[in-house]
Amino acid sequence: MSAPGSPLGSGALIRLVAAREVSTRLRDKTFLISSAVMLLIILGVLVFQVVLGSGSDERRIGVTGDSAALGPALEAQGEVLGLDVTVVDVADGAAARTAVETEDVDAAVLDGTGPDPELVVRESDSTLEALVSGAVSSVALGRVLAEAGVAPGDLPQVSVTALDQTSAADQQRTVVAIVGVVLLYSLIILFGQFVAQGVVEEKSSRVVELLLATMRPWQLLAGKILGLGALGLAQIALIAVIGVGGALAFDVVDVPGDLVGTVGWVLFWYLLGYALFASLFAVAASLVSRQEDLASVLTPASLVLFVGFFVAIQAATNPSGTLAVVTSFVPGLSPMVMPVRQAAGEVAAWEVGLAVVLMLVAIALVVRLGGRVYSGALLRTSGRTKIREALRSGRA
Amino acid sequence: MLEFDGLHKSYGDHHVLEGVGFTVAPGSMFGFCGANGAGKTTTMRIAMGLARPDSGEVRWRGRPLDEGSRRRVGYMPEERGLYPKMRVGEQLTYFARLHGLDAAAAARAAEEWAGRLGLGERRRSRVEELSLGNQQRVQLAAALVSRPEVLILDEPFSGLDPVGVDALAEALLEQCRAGVPVVFSSHQLDLVERLCDAVGILARGRMVASGTVEELRRREAGRLLRVVAPDAAPGWAGAVPGVRVVSERAGDTVLELAEDTDDQVVLAAALRTGRVTHFAWREATLVELFREAVADPAQRTAREEVAA
């Protein structure tokens, strides 16, 4: 008899199972389409931000006569109001009106440095009016002061002390965290479902008997969860790289360091959340033998996941509220609530540490008890298995 | 030797196995028969580690089957199990790898077995697209693809057409000739009789008979003698000492002879009545042996008392 292959260790078996899961999913249309949709959404959000940013903040202002004094003043005022002002020279009043009517410019200033300045706009625009009158009066004021022999530097200057220096950056990080949590929630649901469907498929097609003749239940479970987990991580990382890269390239965010930090934490919490929920889903799925029965056993775990998602969205508006603080420690809810709190910058290091430890304890418990349920229920193909029966006959 | 030794298993109050034991020599084929629910599947699942016996063990080459040695066993479960959406070739490669073959060897073995079992053209089809018969072949290929040292097959012939049965039988005989002990269960007793070197009959959780078909025939007391003497008067055979008439109809009699009765004496008595057109020992078929073996013991005792 020819020699069979060398006996496989746990590592090799788990890798084989994981590789099969990955290659099966990579050819699965549902997976490919959902991945494409998620990428499109992220790209869409980016493009939307870029269009919003560039479209609304630019103003072209026509100026008759000499724009040497008024031009820089208009630009300076624009900067104060957050507008990007471009000054265009126009020949005279008639040309200015034509330029406004043909939408060549947004507004035109006639005789801006003279005694009787006039602003021509298509329709009343308070921002532009404030911008232009500010610029015109500052030029006039400068001239009057110069004529009176006062140097502009003698005027008192206002110095600014911001009490909350990071508020704008905080807001941006919170938005990133919310986008991250939406992704994290969808991917945990998606990949948790994949794990659950895989377990039921193996049970309903009875292929599990052949598999368990070559490996232990925990090796099968580990291979499945790790394989799909790696795929999910690759997907969320790809989305993160494209999102962050795009945001930096198009200048949508101001503080790159904060953005990268927040994204990093979302990835970290994805890993913990996936580990917990994928195990829960797998164990629940092992109790039934038909895909039709799957929804009912997955409901409790899905509900926890949904509550976490809901609280996280709430926490974004009130990150230091009691609800957000308490739930950010509860295993199962923490992967979604904690990144939002962290992004808002309201969390001490020990709080994060505690939430992580609690989550790890929960994962260890689910894997240990769940592993027994899984192995006990896997070979029972008659209808629905009760958890207690499965625990009794488990052989992890 | 593949040894099943003293297997006991009960689910609650229901005793499924009560001391099942038999041995299969390398290079021999063992047919496992028994009524539905007799415990055949449970016995095989215990060998594969899919059920735990309350006591007893299964040994291969003198050592209890464990995780490692089970990987050298080719197994075909009663309820067929394959990934429905996986392609035939990939599926076979996967199972070969789970049994420890490296990637290249697994791919070669998958190709080889798909070809041998007539699945060459369907290698790239998904299992769910195949006919039931072809799915069965894939299932067998999955059991054979890792070049197992032992084959344990639960109802491998069920659902196959005669051509499929022949192909499968040929594949199993080939494995046997290569020195692999083969255990398979079947309700098709003619097949078991044709293929197997040894037969075990399971009833009510016990092995009620095991051995070669010949041994079973010999052990089963009271072979039957059929004599056709058209001109004989009714009751002619009853007068011969040591002969019991099992049935008699218009000169066609079936007789059961006592241990020391000479069949030639019976022939002489028959010839005295006139012409004899038929005189032959009737070989019990495995079906009859099976019926006899699994019959309720109470009825059997009653019949033996009548005979005596």
What are B109-131's pLDDT values in tens digits? 999 988 888 888 888 899 889 88
A175, pLDDT greater than 90: no
A358 Cβ under 8 Å from any chain B Cβ: no
DSSP secondary structure string for all residues of B7-32: EEEEETTEEEEEEEEEEE-TT-EEEE
B3 beta partners? B23, B59
A2 to chain B, minimum CA–CA distance in Å?
Answer: 7
- Whole-number pLDDT of residue A1: 37
Q: Phi/psi of residue A298, each to 5°?
A: -85, -15
A to B CB pairs, distance under 8 Å: 82
Nearest CA in chain B to A377: B50
B303, pLDDT greater than 60: no
- Whole-number pLDDT of residue A4: 44
Q: Is the CB of A214 less than 8 angstroms away from the CB of B70?
A: yes
Instruction: Say if CB B270 and CB B209 are below 8 A apart.
Output: no
B177, pLDDT greater than 70: yes
Q: Which long-range contacts (CB under 8 A, 24 or more apart) does A369-374 make?
A: A370/A279, A370/A280, A370/A282, A370/A283, A371/A217, A371/A218, A371/A221, A371/A283, A371/A396, A372/A396, A373/A283, A373/A286, A373/A287, A374/A199, A374/A217, A374/A218, A374/A221, A374/A282, A374/A283, A374/A286
Candidates B49, B80, B146; nearest CB to A4: B146
Provide, as residue numbers in chain B, all residues whose Cβ is less than 8 Å from the Cβ of A379: 50-51
A47, pLDDT greater than 90: no
- Whole-number pLDDT of residue A208: 87
For range A123-129, the mean pLDDT: 79
Q: Which CATH number describes the domain made up of B221-283?
A: 3.30.70
Proportion of chain B above pLDDT 90, given as a percent: 26
For range B183-204, the mean pLDDT: 88
Give the residue among A223, A341, A234, A213 at the shortest CA–CA distance from A282: A223
Cα atoms found within 13 Å of the Cα of residue A2, Cβ hemisphere only = 9
Q: What pairing do the DSSP bridges indicate for beta strands B198-203 and B29-34? A: parallel
B7: its two tokens: 């297997």
Q: Phi/psi of residue A9, each to 5°?
A: -85, 170
- Whole-number pLDDT of residue A3: 40
Higher-confidence residue of B221 and A305: namely: A305
Beta sheet of B14-24, edge-to-edge order: B14-24, B2-11, B55-60, B63-64
Instruction: Say if CB A391 and CB A376 are below 8 A apart.
Output: yes
pLDDT band, residue A358 (cuts 50/70/90): very high
pLDDT band, residue B308 (cuts 50/70/90): very low
Candidates A16, A208, A381; nearest CB to B98: A16
Q: pLDDT tens digits, residue range B235-283?
A: 888 888 888 888 888 888 888 888 788 888 889 888 988 899 999 887 7
What is the b/e burial string over A119-146, where b = at least 16 CB atoms within 10 angstroms of the residue's CB? Answer: bbeeeeeeebeebbebbbebbbeeeeee
Provide, as residue numbers in chain A, all residues whose Cβ is less than 8 Å from the Cβ of B102: 5
B221, pLDDT greater than 70: no
Proportion of chain A above pLDDT 90, given as a percent: 17
- Whole-number pLDDT of residue A253: 66
For the purposes of burial, counting CB atoms within 10 Å of the CB of A232, is it exposed (0-12), middle (13-18) or buried (19 or more)? buried
Range with top average pLDDT, A162-171, A379-388, B155-164: B155-164
Cα dihedral: B278, B281, B287, B293 (round 10):
140
Proportion of chain B above pLDDT 70, given as a percent: 94
Tokens 């540490």 sit at which residue? Answer: A353
A381, pLDDT greater than 50: yes
- Whole-number pLDDT of residue B184: 93
HEC sequence for chain A? CCCCCCCCCHHHHHHHHHHHHHHHHHCCHHHHHHHHHHHHHHHHHHHHHHHHHHHHCEEEEEEECCCCCHHHHHHHHHHHHCCEEEEEEECCHHHHHHHHHCCCCCEEEECCCCCCCEEEECCCCHHHHHHHHHHHHHHHHHHHHHHCCCCHHHCCCCCCCCCCCCHHHHHHHHHHHHHHHHHHHHHHHHHHHHHHHHHHHHHHCCHHHHHHCCCCHHHHHHHHHHHHHHHHHHHHHHHHHHHHHHHHHCCCCCCHHHHHHHHHHHHHHHHHHHHHHHHHHHHHHHCCCCHHHHHHHHHHHHHHHHHHHHHHHHHHHCCCCHHHHHHCCCCCCHHHHHHHHHHHCCCCHHHHHHHHHHHHHHHHHHHHHHHHHHHHHCCCCCCCCCHHHHHHHCCC
Average pLDDT of chain B? Answer: 85
B179 to chain A, minimum CA–CA distance in Å?
Answer: 7
For range A12-18, the mean pLDDT: 91
How far, in Å, CA of B263 to CA of B222, rounded?
12
Provide, as residue numbers in chain B, all residues whose Cβ is less than 8 Å from the Cβ of A210: 75, 77, 81-82, 95, 142
ipTM reported for the complex surpasses 0.85: no
- Whole-number pLDDT of residue B252: 87
pLDDT band, residue B87 (cuts 50/70/90): very high
Nearest CA in chain A to B46: A213
A237, pLDDT greater than 70: yes
B192, pLDDT greater than 60: yes
- Whole-number pLDDT of residue A224: 92
- Whole-number pLDDT of residue A166: 52
A231, pLDDT greater than 50: yes
B297, pLDDT greater than 70: no
Q: Is the CB of A1 less than 8 angstroms away from the CB of B179?
A: yes
- Whole-number pLDDT of residue B142: 92
Instruction: Please name the CATH architecture into which domain B2-215 falls.
Output: 3-Layer(aba) Sandwich (3.40)
CA A87 to each of CA A84, A122, A125, B192: distance values in angstroms, whole numbers, following the listed order: 10, 17, 17, 99
pLDDT band, residue B3 (cuts 50/70/90): very high
B186 to chain A, minimum CA–CA distance in Å?
Answer: 19
Nearest CA in chain B to A205: B81
Instruction: Say if CB A93 and CB A64 are below 8 A apart.
Output: yes
B41, pLDDT greater than 80: yes
- Whole-number pLDDT of residue A141: 80
Q: Which residues contact A280 (CB under 8 A, 6 or more apart)?
A: A192, A301, A366, A370
A352-356, A377-381, B60-64, B160-164: which has the minimum mean pLDDT?
Answer: A377-381
pLDDT band, residue B91 (cuts 50/70/90): very high
pLDDT band, residue B150 (cuts 50/70/90): very high
Q: Is the CB of B147 less than 8 angstroms away from the CB of A2?
A: yes
Q: Is the CB of B79 less than 8 angstroms away from the CB of A209?
A: yes
A2, pLDDT greater than 50: no
Q: Phi/psi of residue B299, each to 5°?
A: -65, -40
- Whole-number pLDDT of residue B158: 84
Candidates A7, A206, A211; nearest CB to B79: A206
Candidates A2, A7, A205; nearest CB to B68: A7
Q: pLDDT tens digits, residue range B12-30?
A: 888 889 888 899 999 999 9
A209 to chain B, minimum CA–CA distance in Å?
Answer: 7
A112-116, A231-235, A317-321, B252-256: which has the minimum mean pLDDT?
Answer: A112-116
Average pLDDT of chain A? Answer: 82
A211 Cβ under 8 Å from any chain B Cβ: yes
A23-27, A42-46, A224-228, A252-256: which has the minimum mean pLDDT?
Answer: A252-256
A367: its two tokens: 């894997």
A123-127, A329-333, B38-42, B185-189: which has the minimum mean pLDDT?
Answer: A123-127
- Whole-number pLDDT of residue B108: 93
- Whole-number pLDDT of residue A5: 45
Cα atoms found within 13 Å of the Cα of residue A323, Cβ hemisphere only = 12
Provide, as residue numbers in chain A, all residues whose Cβ is less than 8 Å from the Cβ of B2: none
Instruction: Say if CB B240 and CB B284 are below 8 A apart.
Output: no
A380 to chain B, minimum CA–CA distance in Å?
Answer: 11
CA A223 to each of CA A137, B9, B31, B222: distance values in angstroms, whole numbers, following the listed order: 73, 31, 37, 60
A76 Cβ under 8 Å from any chain B Cβ: no
For the purposes of burial, counting CB atoms within 10 Å of the CB of B39, is it exposed (0-12), middle (13-18) or buried (19 or more)? buried
A69, pLDDT greater than 80: no
A356, pLDDT greater than 90: yes
Domains along chain A?
10-48+168-393 (no CATH), 56-149 (3.40.190.10)
Specify the amino acid at residue B196: C
- Whole-number pLDDT of residue A158: 67
A360 Cβ under 8 Å from any chain B Cβ: no
Q: pLDDT tens digits, residue range A266-294?
A: 889 999 999 999 999 999 998 888 888 88
Residue ranges, comma separated, of all CATH 3.30.70 domains in chain B are 221-283
Candidates A13, A20, A379; nearest CB to B50: A379
Q: pLDDT tens digits, residue range A184-208?
A: 898 899 899 999 998 998 888 888 8
How far, in Å, CA of A132 to CA of B143, rounded?
85
B73 to chain A, minimum CA–CA distance in Å?
Answer: 9
A291 to chain B, minimum CA–CA distance in Å?
Answer: 14
A155-169, B89-103, B233-247, B259-273: which has the minimum mean pLDDT?
Answer: A155-169
Q: Phi/psi of residue A207, each to 5°?
A: -65, -20
Give the residue among B62, B63, B46 at the shortest CA–CA distance from B54: B46
A4-18, A57-71, A75-89, A375-389: which has the minimum mean pLDDT?
Answer: A375-389
Instruction: Say if CB B50 and CB B73 are below 8 A apart.
Output: no
For testing contact with chain A, the best of B69, B83, B128, B177 (most A CBs within 10 A):
B83
pLDDT band, residue A389 (cuts 50/70/90): confident
A176, pLDDT greater than 70: yes
Residue ranges, comma separated, of all CATH 3.40.50.300 domains in chain B are 2-215
- Whole-number pLDDT of residue A386: 73
